[in-house]
Structures are given as structure tokens and as C-alpha cells.
Structure 1
Amino acid sequence: MFPLTVNRLSLALYVDKRGMAQLLKMMKAVRVHKFGGPEVLKTETIPIPSIKHNKVLIHVRAAGINPADTYIRSGGYGLLPELPAILGKDVAGEVEEVGETVKNFKKGQRVFAELQERNGGYAEYVACPEDNVFPLAHRLTFAQGAGLYIPYVTAYRGLVTKCKAKAGQLLLVHGASGAVGVAAVQLAKSLGLTVVGTAGSSEGLELVKKVGADHVFNHRTDGYLEGAVKTVGKFDIIFENLSNVNLGADLTVMNKNASIAIVGCRGTVEINPRLIMQAEATVHGVFLYNSTSEERQAAIDNLLEGIAKGWVNPVVAKEYKFEEAPQAHHDIIHTKGATGRLVLTP
């Protein structure tokens, strides 16, 4: 390969099986060739994906990092991609090219997108079906745009689709300072709920309060749940980001007929089912890709409406370069207190 730089695009000369020289447009991407620790994330140069029909080629300016990315990378996720794989489900950037049947987007337009299983966002360019691409408001940065789809659609599925949240209810967001937690707080306040948010650091508590929580508690402090119940009462809905740590305790602070949405888990937990029986509560597992087309569209409509109305405001904690992807994957799991979204930039 002999890379060249022409109009932002890298070009490479190679010889195909027929012995003929070909010129490929190349890009930088972070790929996984085997499952394992953060060190398996490798920055490489690969061909830019081609597009046709209903596909949109996006010049990626920022790619969101989700905890699920680390589970996939390690091989500990229910749905694993074929290798080599590019991780990442959220991107924001500019339209580079559109297929011949694309009607709603044009070159240069600011967009954010949700990516398919085999088309990850840790790359300079991604190809995406038009139905998975959405306009990015100018008031939001590209880094914020990379924190829109997965966090806010997950929050909607947990709170609205599963728990049927409505105005006047009391909500506990366990782990409210992360990207999905922030989205849950903002969504809940837009719906008229009273929100209690937890975080594990003073910076996280300040953030949770800033994004709209009515009360905040440090989940690293002994007796914090008892303090929360003493302040506001037992909860109608619990939005749980780390169920393997918190679920057993969650069951002790439920109101009658409460609902729990489990959106995050890193292991097993021991619970007392009698507590669920006594409250006649419902525990929902939340897996975004089980959504029906109608449920997905309702969540997207809510997200786009929230962007237009101004209550959707992703918080970006830190930006990393592609070459720093291993450090980013370490940090998202081992941080002592989340303060928003982590993103990769080319």
C-alpha cells in the first residue's frame, strides 16, 4: 500500500487478484481482530465503505462509547459481531455522499446516526441506511450528537415503553451521572416526574442536579437509600444502570405496584423475590434491539421533539482520539464517578 492524501481522503494503490492496479479510498478505523482486553483495539487503515441505493456515507466527527462496546470487545455480550469488527453504535458528523434513492439528506449536512451491527462508528467514515440518519441541530456539537441515539432511546424504552412513566410519579435513577442516566433524568423531567438521582462523586452529584434532578444522593455513602426514602418516600419507578450491584437494595425501596427498568448489568446478584411479591412490583429487562418498529419510531419521535424543544442536552465528559480507544475503554468501566458521555474523535 502507498497512502496518498487527496481532498481529505486517503488513497491507496493495490494489486488485485488479476494483477491489475486499483486505487482505493482509505480511512482510519479502530478494529478488533480478537476478543479480549482494551489492548485488542487497534487503529488501522482500511477502505472507506462504498454506498448505493438508500445508504448515506457520513464523515464521522465523533463516535460515542457505550459500556456495551466494552462487553462486545471482551466477548462477553449476547450478540457478538464477526471479526474483524469495528465497534460503536452512535456517530455524529457530516454527510459525505448519498445513494441514488436518498431523499432527505445532502452533502455537507450535519447529522447523527444509529449504526447497524456490522457497521461500527469507530471510523472516519460510516455507511448507514437513510432511515437510521437524523439531522443534528446546530445548537449541539458533534460530540453531543454522538451521545444522542443510544442513551436517549434507551431511556425512553426503559421509562416509557416498559415502565409507562407518567407525571407525578417518583423516580430513582441509580447511576444518573452517566450518559444514559443523564438522558433518563432529562426525559423524566420533561414528562413531569419527580427525580432522585445518584452518583459516586461530588462532580457527578453536581452534574445530576444541573441536568434536572430534584434530589441527589451519593451511592458510595452508607445509608443513602434510607436517606432518600426518608426525604421523598418510596419509589414508583427505578431506572437501574448497575443491577448486579444495586438490584437487591432497589427491591427494598419500592412503592406498591412499582416498576424497575434494568438497563445495565455486569454480573450476577442475589435478591429476595418476596419483596417483589409484597409490592406486586414488575422488573423489566431493557434491551434496545428488541424494540418493534413502532416502539423504535415512538422513541425517535420523542428524541427529535426533545431536541427541538431544548430539553435534550447530552453532557460530554471527555473526548479521546482513535489511538486512545484502549484508554477510553478502560476509563468507562473503571471510573470512580461518571460525569457524562465519553466519545472518540478521528
Structure 2
Amino acid sequence: MSVRSLVNTVMRAVRVTEFGGPKVLKVDKNVPVPKSSNDQILIKVHAAGINPVDTYIRSGTYAVKPTLPYTPGKDVAGVVEEVGSNVSNLKKGDRVYSMAATSGGYAEYCTAASSDTKLLHSNLTYEEGAGIGVPYYTAYRALVIIGGAKAGDTVLVHGASGAVGLACAQIAHFRGLRVLGTAGSQAGLDLIARNGCDAVFCHREEGYATKIMEATENVGPQIIIEMLANVNLERDLTMIAKKGRIVVVGNRGSTEITPRLAMQKECIVTGMLLFNATQGEMDEIDAAVAGGMRDGWIKPHIGKVYSLEEAPNAHEDIINNKGTQGRLIFKVSS
């Protein structure tokens, strides 16, 4: 299909016309195909990733609210359909992934910032490509840049079976760390054991923290990557090694901690938000991810695939699941 014919056509896209629960997500079959600006590209979307932040934005509780109506989603994988006049790093027909869908990724086509759109290696499918962006970039920044991970360290990925957790485990394993991971189901434990975790623990089991400490000879992990701080932060403070680092990646509420635990450990507790990354950090992550795709150690696990019409179910599942297992995605086109 030519660029000119695309401009005057319509597409299917998930639209939000009011903030609220998952049911506000509705497919509209007559949304105009967006037009890329000079610095953007137009992507024919094959798959789109689903992130927890998508649900916060949809509910209207996120700090930044988009103008209604809007199409959710930032993570996509597909084929470049059109390039802006200032774009030199990509061309029509390139297989790409992006976490910068500017017109919304839950759609048949989306515009994206060319600077934040990268080539998708042939080792990965489009579905896997939709699992790279936010999960792997978040994991790398949390573990390596903020967490200061180095070969020989022990890292505990607290909630390792989700998309970011599995990315952390794969990156840590590749970089020579000893990886401990927790999950909430036997299927989740089996999954993280196959994806880089040297020892696995069920965080629904009473006394699991004691087992983690025994596995570290009661020293504790040097790094903890925390996916649900409002539930686990106090426990993390009891486990972290002296002068260790707890990096909070996920949180869904307030919590109460005992500051003396931090005093005793002289540990650092820090939050991490991917979009605070500097350009230099993003360049470092780009290079690491490109190498991981090429060499085969980056391999997103797709937990469940949805159609665009199943968007309400997808948003319900990503928040209220009984045991996350990998990345949730929309399959948009074949």
C-alpha cells in the first residue's frame, strides 16, 4: 500500500473516550491512519506490548493524562510503512520495535519517534519484538545502571516471572551474576528457572525469606530488584546484604518500613523510572539489547496473546493476575 493511499484510509484501533475501568477500552474501526511528522515514522503494527502503566493512564490516576479520546500503548513491533523527511536511520520495509508510539500502539498503524525506534533482529518474531521495549530497557537500567550490577554479585529479582523480572534474570545471568528469583506459582518457578535464575523461591510460601538467606549463607543478596514495594520493601530490608542496593521498579500503594533496618545494613533504597534515563544511558541500553538479540540471550517470553477486541480482558489480567508469566501482548496483524 502506498503512503499516499494510506493517508486517506482508516484503521482499527482501541480508543478511550473517558477515563475509567477496563470496559472503557473499545475498538473503533474508523480511526484515521495517523500521518508521521518529519522526525517520525509510520509503523504497520504486527504486535503491541501491554504495560501496567497503560492501565494507570486509562484509569485517569496517572500523573499525566492524555487528551481524550486517545489510543493507549507505547510498545510495538512491526514494519516501517513511511518515514519522515528528517529520518535517516530507518527506511520503508524495516522490521522494527519501538517503545515510543506517539499515536498509540493498540492499533493497526502508529506513528513513533524515529530516535526511539530500533531494528528488530531476525532472531525474534514480531510478538517477541513487542516484548523488548519497556521490559528490557527497564530491567537493564534498574539492574546495571542504577543497581551497579557486576559479575559475581548475587541479585534477588523479587517477582521474576513478569516481563521485567524475566528480562532482569536474563540480563543478570548473561553478565555473570548469581540470580535468585521469586514467583507465585509452580509454573512461574519453572519459567524463571529456565530463564537465568540459579535458585527459585515461592513468595507465597511462608518463610521463603529465610530460605533466601540460607541460600546466601545469611549474607543476603547485594542487589534486590523489587517489583511490588508496597508488599515487599520491609522484607527486602531484612534480606539485603550490608551496603547493598534495593531498586524499586514497581509499586501499587503505600507501605510502612522500619528505618533502623536500613541503618543497620547501611543499604541504599532507590526508585527507578525508565523515562528519567539520559541519552547516554539509552545509547548504552540500545547497544546491549542489540547485542542480546543478535547473540540470542534476549528472548522475551510471551505469556498470553490477545486480539484488540480483548483489550478489557488484557488490562484486567495484567493487574489482577494470580501469577504473572511473561509478557502480555496484542497480536494486531500477521
TM-score of Structure 1 vs Structure 2, range by shorter chain: over 0.9
Which one of the candidate residues 143, 164, 175 is aligned to 1:191?
Answer: 175
> What is residue 148 of structure 1 aligned with on the other side?
132
Instruction: Give the equivalent residue in structure 2 for 1:95.
Output: 80
* Match of residue 247 from structure 1: 233
1:287 aligns with 2:273: yes
Matched, 1:126 2:107: no
| Deviations 1:123-151, CA, capped at 9 Å, x for gaps | 11111122111111112111110010101
- Work out which of the residue numbers 10, 22, 36 in structure 2 matches 1:51: 36
Deviations 1:166-203 (A, max 9, x none): 11111100110000000000111111110000011111
- Per the alignment, in what secondary structure is the counterpart of residue 153 of structure 1? helix
Give the structure 2 partner of residue 224 of structure 1.
208
- Amino-acid identity (%): 48
- State how 1:50-69 maps to structure 2 within 5 Å: 50-69=35-54
Which of 330, 334, 342 is the matching residue for 2:316? 330
- 1:281-328 CA distance string (max 9 Å, x none): 101111111111111211222111211221111000111000000000
SS for the counterpart of 2:257 is coil
Report the secondary structure of 2:35's partner residue: coil
- In 2, Cα distance between equivalents of 1:316 and 1:252: 33
- Report the AA paired with residue 84 of structure 2: G
User: Which of 190, 198, 209 in structure 2 is aligned with 1:206?
Assistant: 190
Partners in 1 of 2:91 and 2:150 — Cα distance? 38
Alignment of 1:158-169 (within 5 A): 158-169=142-153
Q: Which residue of 2 aligns with 1:19?
A: none
Deviation for aligned residue 1:8? 10
Q: How far apart, CA to CA, are the structure 1 residues paired with 2:246 and 2:215?
A: 20
Distance 1:290 1:103 in 2: 26
> 1:11-35, CA deviations, whole angstroms, 9 ceiling, x for partnerless residues?
89xxxxxxxxxx8211111121221
Q: Which of structure 1's runs of 4+ aligned residues deviate more than 4 A?
A: none
- For residue 320 of structure 2, what is the amino acid of its counterpart? H
Query: Which AA in structure 1 matches 2:87?
Result: V
- Residue segments in structure 2 that go unaligned for 5+ positions in a row: none
Distance 2:142 2:299 in 1: 19
Count of matched residue positions in the alignment of Structure 1 and Structure 2: 328
Which residue number corresponds to residue 288 of structure 2?
302
Looking at structure 1, the residues matched to 238 and 103 of structure 2 have their Cα atoms a distance apart, in angstroms, of 42
Q: Secondary structure at the match of 1:256?
A: coil
TM-score (norm 1): 0.91
* Residue 193 of structure 2 is aligned to residue 179 of structure 1: no
Larger Rg over CA atoms? 1
Deviation at 1:107, TM superposition (A): 2.1
Q: Distance in 2 between matches of 1:145 and 1:273?
A: 41
Which residue is equivalent to 1:16?
none
Q: Distance in 2 between matches of 1:101 and 1:292?
A: 22
Amino acid at match of 2:146: K
Q: Is residue 123–residue 294 contact of structure 2 (8 Å, CA) maintained in 1?
A: no
Return the offset for 1:80.
Answer: 2.3
2:330 and 2:2 mapped to 1: Cα distance? 19
Deviations 1:178-236 (A, max 9, x none): 00000000111111110000011111100000011000011111011111111224111
Comparing 63-72 and 46-55, the one that deviates more: 46-55
Deviation at residue 161 of structure 1 after TM alignment: 1.4
Q: TM-score, normalised by structure 2?
A: 0.94
- What is the CA distance between 1:262 and its match in structure 2? 0.5
User: How far apart in 1 are the matches of 2:263 and 2:204?
Assistant: 28
Which of 68-77 and 178-187 deviates more? 68-77
Select 1:85's aligned residue among 67, 70, 73: 70
2:25 aligned residue: 41
